[in-house]
Structure 1
C-alpha cells in the first residue's frame, strides 16, 4: 500500500518540473487585488430593482460567483477546495430539494442515502459529523439517533447563495471538532439601492415537478431595499410520494414533505455589514428506506446575528446564534406499527474572528468560538405493549456537549511565486448526561436494558477532551499556467452524545440507534477517545487559454486516523424477528484507520460558432480507499466514480448531457454485512431557456431507466419488513424521471 501512497502523492510533485508557456489566466492573481467590473442593462421607466451588492459598492463579502468563475484563490481557500454558487447548484438539477445531493458537483464529495431532504455528505470517505457543516455561520447538530435532521436538511437549495467545500486541509480558522473537512453554506447576498431615498423591490417565484414520485413544490424570494437596509423573505415547500426504481417498481418509505421559511434583515454602514435572520422549518413526514424508523414530525426554529466590520488594520467578524429542534419518529404506512421516539435538541454559540493585515505580505487571523448543545431523547410508552412500557424509556437524559475553541493563523506571501499558511487551534469539549431508565425496572422482557441502565447510572458520565489541531500549507505559482499546493493537517473530533451515551443493550433498544442504514444495533461507549487524523495532500492545477478556460486539477491525499470511532462486535440477533443472524449488535470503539485516494477535475471548451453556439466539457473523477489497521474495511466508502458533462449554449439556450459512472463496490465491511453493489452508468439530460424574466428548465434523469443500487444506500429495510424478510438487499436508486421547472423574476 505504501507504493500506492507514493504514487498518488507523486502525481502533483511531478508537475513541479514541467515548464509551460501559455497565456495569462484570470485565476492567477498573485499580487494585485481583484478588479470588479459591473455592467447594468438599461432600466425601463417606472421599474426599478435591487441590484446585488459587489466589492465596489458594499466592500464586504463578494457576491457569490458561478463555479465557472471562481474567486481569486488564497491559502485561506485551499486549491483542494471548491466554491459552488447558487446558480451552479440550483440550475444543475431542476427540482432538487436536497442540498446535500447538490454538493456532488465538488470533487471528492459523495452522499449517503437518507430521507428525501436528509442525505449525509462525505468528503474523501469521511462523512457525517466528521465534517464541520456551517449553515450561515451556525453549527447545527442532528437531534436524532438516526440522523434524520442533519444540518443541510434545514436549508432549501433556492435559498443558497454560496457553498464552500474544503477537505481535511481546511485552515484552522475554518475547522474545529472535525477531521474530514468543512462545508460552509451562506445565504444569497443582499441587494441594496444605489440612489439615496429610493425603495427598490425584487421578487422571484419558482415551481417544479418531478414525474418520478410525483414530486412538486415551489419557492419564493422577495426583498425590499434602500441604500443601506434590506429586508428579504425566502420560503420553499416541496413534497413527493415514494419514488420508483429503474424498471418501475416502487421503493417504499421514500416519501416526504418539507417547508422552510427565513426572514433576513441586512443593514450596512459604509463598508460594515449587519445581519439578523430568523428561520422556521416544518417537516411533517419523511420516510427512511434504510432505517427501522421514519420521521413523523420535525420543527426547527433559529435566530442568527452577524456583524462584519472593517478597520484600517483589517476586519472583525462576529456571529451569535440559537437553534432549537423538536423531533418525532415513528412508523409511516409502509412499515406500520407504533413506537414513538422523541427528541428536544438545541444548538447555541458565538464566534469572533479577526483578520489583521500586519504588512502588505502578511495576514494574521485570530478567533474564538463557542458551540453548545443540549439534547433530551425519550421514548414514550405504548399502551398494551409489554416491551414498550409502562414507563418512558430515557435514552439521553439532559445531555450536554459544550466546546470552546481558539485559533491563530498566519498567512504570508514570500515572493510572487511562494506563499505559506500555518495555523494552530485548541478545542476543549465538555460532555455530560443524567441518569437513564428503561421502559420497566421489573419486567423480565427488559432484563438486558435493566442491567445496562443500572451499570450506566453507576458510572460518572462527565467527560472532558482537550484537543489540538494544526494546518500547514505551501503554494507555488511559477506562472499563470500552473499552481502547486501541498500541506499537512492534524485534526481532532470528540465523540458525539450518541456515541458516548447510548446505553441500551436490548435488541429493540439498540437497533433504534444508528445512522448507518444497515439494520444493526449500536451501543454507546463512555470510554471513547477523540479521533485524531493526520492528513497529507498535494494539489496540482494546470491551466491554459486567455481566461483559464482549460483546466485540470489533481489532488492525491492520505489520512491516518488514530482512534477512529468504528465498532466492536457484541453479539448476533437470533430471534425470528431479526431473521436468524442477519443483524448484529455492536459497540462504538476506537480503531486506527487509514484512507487514501485521488480526486481529478477538469474543464475545456470544445468549439464555438456564432451559428451553433459554444460547446464545452467538464468532469470529475474520485477514488478513495479506507481500512482499519487490523485489515477490516471501513464502512460506506464510495467506489471509483466519475462524472462527465457536455455543455452547450446558444443565445438564451443552455443544455447539458451528463454521464455518471460508478464502479462496482466490492470493498465492503463484512463485519456489518455491508452490501456489494454492481457498477452502473447513468445518462442525464438538461436544458433551459431564458425568455425575458422567465426561465424554463427541463430535464430527464436516468434516461434509460437503469436499475442500479446506491453504493452508500445501505439496507432496504422497508422492503425487508413489508415482505417479512423475503426481500433482503441494497437500496435501489431513482429510475427515470422527467423534471420541469419555471422561474419568474420581478
Structure 2
C-alpha cells in the first residue's frame, strides 16, 4: 500500500517537473503582452493578479471551457447588457478581506462566465466547483453533492451562501448549504483550499467556500429607471433533465429591486455503456429570490428573501429519500465606509421543514421529520493603520436549532411504533466567534498575515425516547447523562508571501483550525441497527451512533505554494501547492457491532478483488482519533496559438492527490480522492467558444476497511462544450461523457437503491456514474 502511495506521489512530482521544464523553456517565446486580443488565463482567478495584469485582460471573453478568469468579465459595448451573464468586477460587492494577504494563493474564484458555461450540464451548484484545485465531491442527491477540500469533508468545510451559515437539517445531510442556491443565481464562487485566514474560517478545518448571488444593479444618472432581465432554458438528454431560470430587475440610481427564479427537474439517469437507469437519482426543485438594494455613494444596503422548495429528491446511496424540503432564507447586508476604514455587517435567518421517506425506487415506508433553523450575524471591519499595515477585526454569532422526530408506522410495532421516535429533542448549537488579523507589507517583495481567533460553542438537547420499549435501555442511558457541552476553541493563521520578480510568487502558511462536533455526532443515541442506519452522510449503508464524550477536532496545516507565470499573467501560468495536515481528535468512528441480519455484501466495482460477506454492514460510533492528510494540488494554463482566421487556443489543467490515514488504527480515512487530473482545450473565435475536457481518475484501491469502502477502477471521460453569442441570444451545446463510459466515481458510495430493489440480497455495487448526455441551452436577455 505504501509503495503504491510513493509511486503516485513520484508520478505527480514527475508530471510537475516536466511541465515546469516545458514552461521555462518556452517562456520567452510564449510571452507576448502586446498581442491584439490576447488569450486570457483560463485557469480560474487565484486572487493575486496585480492591477496591471487585470487591465491587460479586461476585455470580455465568452468562455465555454470549464475554467476562466474572474477579471475577464466586462461586457463589450457592442453586446447587450445581460444581468445573468457577467457583472463587471466592480459591480460584484467586495467586502472586508477581499484583497491582499486575506486572499491566499490557494484561493480560486469562479467568475460568472465560468458558471454560465457549466449551467447546461447540471443544476447542482456544488458541481461548479469541480474545476477548482483540491475540491472533490461526495455523491449525494441530484442537486445536493457534498464538497470536500484536500480530503476534509462535510462540516469540516465552511460554506457561506450570501454570508449565511446554513446547517443541514437532516440525519443524512440531504439539504447541504449549496442546495439552497441555483447555479443561475450565482455571481461568484470563491474557494480557499487549506490554510485560511481567521476572518474567513472558524468552526472548520479544510477551507472555505463562499458563494454570492447576483448583486443589485443600479441605473446611471442619465437612465432614469433602468429595466433588464433574461430567460434561460436547458435540456439534458440523460434523465430527461429540464431546467429554467428567469431574472428581472428595475432600478433607479439609488434603488434596485430584482427577482431571480429557477425550476429544475430530472428523472433517474442512465449509467454508461448503454446501461440501465441508476435508481433514486431523480429530483425536482424550485427557487425564488427577491433582492432589494439601496445605494448611497459608496455605501450599500441589500436585503434578500428566498423560498427554496424540493418536492422530492432521490438518494442512491442512502436508505432514505427526500420527499419534501421547504425553506425560507432571509439575509441582509450593510457595507459602509468611514475615514478609518470599511465596515461590513451581515445578518441572516433560515428555516427548513424537511421530510424523508422512501420513493418508489425503494420499497417500504418510514416517515422522518426535521425542523431546523439558523440565525446569526457577522460584523467585520478593515482598518488601514498605515500605508503598509491593515488590521481586520470581527465578531460572529450563529445559533442552530433542530427537532428530529420519526412518526410511527401502522402495523410495524414495536420496531416502528406505536410511539413517535424522538431523535433530537430541541437540540441547540450556538457559536460566538471573535477574530483579529494583521497584514503587513515589509518591502516590495515580502508580505505577512497573522491572525488569531476564538470560538465559543455551546450545545445542548433534551431527553429522548424510542418507538417502543425495545428502545428503552438506550433512551434511559442517554437521558441519565448531562447533555450540555461547552467548547472553547482557538485558531491561529500565519502566512508569508514572497514576490522576488514579476514572474514568480511563493507563499508559505500555517493554520491551527478547530471544529466542534455537530448535533448528530454528539446526540444521535440509539444503538439499534434500524435507527442507527438512519444516521450518516457517508453513503456507505452503515449505521452511526453519537458520542457525548466527543472532543473538538484540532487541525494543524502547513502548506507551500509556488507560482510561476509570464509578466502579464495571461500567456502561461503554473502553480504547485503541497500540504500536510495533522488532526488531533479527528472525528472518525469505532466498531460497535455487525448487522448480520441486513443481508448482502459489497461488490468491488469490477476490480475483481474481494467480495464481502453478508455480515459486513456494521454499526459504528463516532469517536476521536489522531489522523494525518497530505497531498499536492497543481494548476496550469497555457496560451497555445492565436490567429485572426482560426481564433485563440488555450490549454488548462489541474492535478490533485490526497492521502489520509487514521494514525491510531493505520486505516485509510474514508472517501479520499485518488490521483486525478483534468485537462481542457479551449477555443474562441469571435462570439463562438468551445472546449474539450478530459477527466482522468486513477483506480481507488486504498480504502477504509472499517466502513468496507468499495474499491473503484480508474477511468477517463471526455466532455465537449460549445456556445455562441448572437446579439441578445446565447446558445449552448454540450456532450457529457462523450464515449458513454461506464465508471464509478471514487466518492460515490454504495448503490443502496439497486441493492434494495433486488431484495437486499447478493452484492452491493459502488454507485455508477452518469452515462452520455446531450445538453443544450438558450438564454435570451433584454
2:579 corresponds, among 531, 538, 557, to 557
> Residues of 2 paired with 1:715 and 1:32: CA distance?
50
> Residues of 1 paired with 2:267 and 2:738: CA distance?
20
In the other structure, the counterpart of 1:644 is 679
2:419 corresponds, among 388, 391, 394, to 391
In the other structure, the counterpart of 1:378 is 405
Partner deviation per Cα, 1:70-109 (whole Å, 9 max, x = no partner): x996211100111111220231351410011110110010
SS at match of 1:477: strand
Deviation at 1:726?
A: 2.7
Partner deviation per Cα, 1:332-386 (whole Å, 9 max, x = no partner): 0010211000000000000000000101111100000000000000000011111
2:178 corresponds, among 125, 148, 152, to 152
Asked whether the equivalents of residues 196 and 226 of structure 1 are also in contact (C-alpha less than 8 Å), the reply is no
The answer on 1:220 being equivalent to 2:249 is no
Comparing 98-107 with 399-408, greater Cα deviation is found at: 98-107
> Residues of 2 paired with 1:50 and 1:262: CA distance?
14
Q: TM-score, normalised by structure 1?
A: 0.93
2:332 corresponds, among 289, 305, 308, to 305
In the other structure, the counterpart of 1:61 is 94
Deviation at 1:548?
A: 3.0
In the other structure, the counterpart of 2:634 is 600
> Residues of 1 paired with 2:282 and 2:381: CA distance?
45
> Residues of 2 paired with 1:505 and 1:317: CA distance?
46
> Residues of 2 paired with 1:48 and 1:710: CA distance?
36
In the other structure, the counterpart of 1:271 is 298
Partner deviation per Cα, 1:559-601 (whole Å, 9 max, x = no partner): 0000000000011011155763030010000000000000000
SS at match of 1:102: helix
Deviation at 1:190?
A: 2.1
Deviation at 1:450?
A: 1.7
> Residues of 1 paired with 2:574 and 2:311: CA distance?
45
> Residues of 1 paired with 2:532 and 2:363: CA distance?
20
1:85 corresponds, among 100, 111, 129, to 111
Q: In structure 2, do the counterparts of structure 1 residues 307 and 399 end up closer, same or farther at CA, with 3 Å as the change threshold?
A: same
Paired residues for 1:426-437 under 5 Å = 426-437=454-465
Partner deviation per Cα, 1:279-332 (whole Å, 9 max, x = no partner): 001100000000000000000001111000011211000001100000000000
Paired residues for 1:503-582 under 5 Å = 503-544=525-566, 546-575=568-597, 580-582=614-616
Asked whether the equivalents of residues 296 and 328 of structure 1 are also in contact (C-alpha less than 8 Å), the reply is yes
In the other structure, the counterpart of 1:585 is 619
Asked whether the equivalents of residues 50 and 225 of structure 1 are also in contact (C-alpha less than 8 Å), the reply is no
Q: In structure 2, do the counterparts of structure 1 residues 716 and 42 end up closer, same or farther at CA, with 3 Å as the change threshold?
A: closer
Deviation at 1:545?
A: 5.6
SS at match of 1:191: coil
Asked whether the equivalents of residues 59 and 271 of structure 1 are also in contact (C-alpha less than 8 Å), the reply is no
The answer on 1:324 being equivalent to 2:351 is yes
SS at match of 1:91: helix
> Residues of 1 paired with 2:568 and 2:543: CA distance?
57
The answer on 1:209 being equivalent to 2:235 is yes
Deviation at 1:195?
A: 1.6
> Residues of 2 paired with 1:331 and 1:631: CA distance?
37
Partner deviation per Cα, 1:388-416 (whole Å, 9 max, x = no partner): 11100000000000000000000111111
In the other structure, the counterpart of 1:726 is 762
1:670 corresponds, among 681, 702, 705, to 705
Root-mean-square deviation (Å) = 2.7
The answer on 1:350 being equivalent to 2:386 is no
The answer on 1:187 being equivalent to 2:213 is yes
> Residues of 1 paired with 2:98 and 2:574: CA distance?
17
Paired residues for 1:133-144 under 5 Å = 133-144=159-170
Asked whether the equivalents of residues 507 and 573 of structure 1 are also in contact (C-alpha less than 8 Å), the reply is yes
The answer on 1:235 being equivalent to 2:246 is no
Comparing 195-204 with 411-420, greater Cα deviation is found at: 195-204
In the other structure, the counterpart of 1:659 is 694
Q: Flag structure 1 segments of 5+ consecutive residues without an equivalent.
A: 63-70
SS at match of 1:575: helix
Asked whether the equivalents of residues 51 and 193 of structure 1 are also in contact (C-alpha less than 8 Å), the reply is no
Asked whether the equivalents of residues 719 and 727 of structure 1 are also in contact (C-alpha less than 8 Å), the reply is no
The answer on 1:168 being equivalent to 2:194 is yes
> Residues of 1 paired with 2:496 and 2:530: CA distance?
51
Paired residues for 1:46-125 under 5 Å = 61=94, 74-125=100-151
> Residues of 2 paired with 1:423 and 1:355: CA distance?
13
The answer on 1:486 being equivalent to 2:508 is yes
The answer on 1:438 being equivalent to 2:488 is no
Q: In structure 2, do the counterparts of structure 1 residues 50 and 83 end up closer, same or farther at CA, with 3 Å as the change threshold?
A: closer
Deviation at 1:534?
A: 0.2
Comparing 188-197 with 716-725, greater Cα deviation is found at: 188-197
Aligned residues: 726
Comparing 675-684 with 194-203, greater Cα deviation is found at: 194-203
1:419 corresponds, among 436, 447, 464, to 447
Deviation at 1:31?
A: 8.8
> Residues of 2 paired with 1:160 and 1:59: CA distance?
11
SS at match of 1:539: strand
In the other structure, the counterpart of 1:68 is none
In the other structure, the counterpart of 2:653 is 619
Q: In structure 2, do the counterparts of structure 1 residues 612 and 48 end up closer, same or farther at CA, with 3 Å as the change threshold?
A: closer
Deviation at 1:196?
A: 5.2
Deviation at 1:172?
A: 0.2
Asked whether the equivalents of residues 48 and 100 of structure 2 are also in contact (C-alpha less than 8 Å), the reply is no
In the other structure, the counterpart of 1:632 is 667
Q: Flag structure 2 segments of 5+ consecutive residues without an equivalent.
A: 34-39, 42-46, 60-73, 602-613
> Residues of 1 paired with 2:497 and 2:676: CA distance?
28
Deviation at 1:9?
A: 11
Asked whether the equivalents of residues 168 and 491 of structure 1 are also in contact (C-alpha less than 8 Å), the reply is no
SS at match of 1:734: coil
SS at match of 2:478: helix
SS at match of 2:385: strand
Deviation at 1:606?
A: 0.8
1:705 corresponds, among 740, 744, 757, to 740
Q: In structure 2, do the counterparts of structure 1 residues 52 and 285 end up closer, same or farther at CA, with 3 Å as the change threshold?
A: closer
Q: In structure 2, do the counterparts of structure 1 residues 401 and 52 end up closer, same or farther at CA, with 3 Å as the change threshold?
A: same
> Residues of 2 paired with 1:286 and 1:125: CA distance?
26
The answer on 1:738 being equivalent to 2:774 is yes
The answer on 1:285 being equivalent to 2:321 is no
2:322 corresponds, among 288, 295, 298, to 295
Deviation at 1:652?
A: 1.3
Q: In structure 2, do the counterparts of structure 1 residues 654 and 391 end up closer, same or farther at CA, with 3 Å as the change threshold?
A: same
